[in-house]
Amino acid sequence: MFYDRRLLIATKHGKEKVIAPLFEKSLGVACFVSDKFDTDLLGTFSGEVSRKDDALTTLRNKCLLAAEKNQCDLVIASEGSFGAHPSVFFASADDELMMFMDTKNNIEIVVRELSLETNFNASTITNEVDLLEFAHRAQFPTHSLILKQSESNFNKIIKGINDLENLKKHFGAFKNQNGAAYVETDMRAHLNPTRMMVIEKAAAKLLLAVQSKCPQCETPGFTISKALEGLPCSWCNHPTSSTLSFLYTCKKCEFTKEVLYPHQKTAEDPTYCNLCNP
């Protein structure tokens, strides 16, 4: 279905470096990038262009617009979000969505990679000592930084700072003018190796999803649609809230398959049983 077709990777931040090798080797596609569509029009991490829609809608629009501008019917794009981890309190997370879209065959496959591996951070800094401490925590200079006057002031933004001399120079200019500067990690993939590694993991996960075909109609993207609770307690055999099975559903013919014990365990530890350990 995909062999010898052109696959557009909709990015301006070097994501093709980790996506293209995987998909070219496994699917036989010819990957390419293009500047005919500026993905920053849908939102920037530095805030001067706010994302108007949720991450999934933005990702879908990115694929559709990039495909249209390049007259290409096969496209991959990703959309990252950064903030507090949904379950690990006080920890930052990189939440990456990646989509494979085939408009010719009406296929849309999405995966998610949620990772604690991120240097995402921002702070208002008033002196050089604190600036250098922030830079050290952010893994500077291998990871770039952004400086601006304040969090919500976008009149002047210095992006992609990756050497100490420029960092000190631009910080000094902001400090002389305002008494402080707002520093944040540059989360663009080509300037943030940690994020690029998470994107690579998402790409590998997406490739597996694309290669997973429906047993009934062989449409790609036969992936998990729902996790079902009910793994029994090893002591009392009462159903727990732990996962008993995964449901896989075909997006085309709606064929469904249940796979029991996806985590290779047939019973749960009593620690997680509401009857044995209320």
Q: What is the pLDDT of residue 52?
A: 85
Q: What is the pLDDT of residue 87?
A: 80
Q: What is the pLDDT of residue 90?
A: 79
Instruction: Show pLDDT as tens, one digit a residue, over the chain (278 residues).
Output: 999 999 999 999 999 999 999 999 999 999 999 998 888 888 777 777 787 889 999 999 999 999 999 999 999 999 999 988 888 877 899 999 999 999 999 999 999 999 999 999 999 999 999 999 999 999 999 999 999 999 988 889 999 999 999 999 999 999 999 999 999 999 999 999 999 999 999 999 999 999 999 999 999 999 999 999 999 999 999 999 999 999 999 989 999 999 999 999 999 999 999 999 97
The three state secondary structure string of the chain is CCCCCEEEECCCCCCHHHHHHHHHHHHCCEEECCCCCCHHHHCCCCCCCCCCCCHHHHHHHHHHHHHHHHCCCEEEEEEEEEEECCCCCCCEEEEEEEEEEECCCCEEEEEEEEECCCCCCEEEECCHHHHHHHHHHCCCCCCCEEEEEECCEEEEEEEEECCHHHHHHHHHHHHHHHCCEEEEECCCHHHCHHHHHHHHHHHHHHHHHHHCECCCCCCECCEEEEEEECCEECCCCCECCCEEEEEEECCCCCCEEEEECCCCCCCECHHHCCCCCC
Q: What is the pLDDT of residue 220?
A: 96
Q: What is the pLDDT of residue 207?
A: 98
Q: What is the pLDDT of residue 42?
A: 85
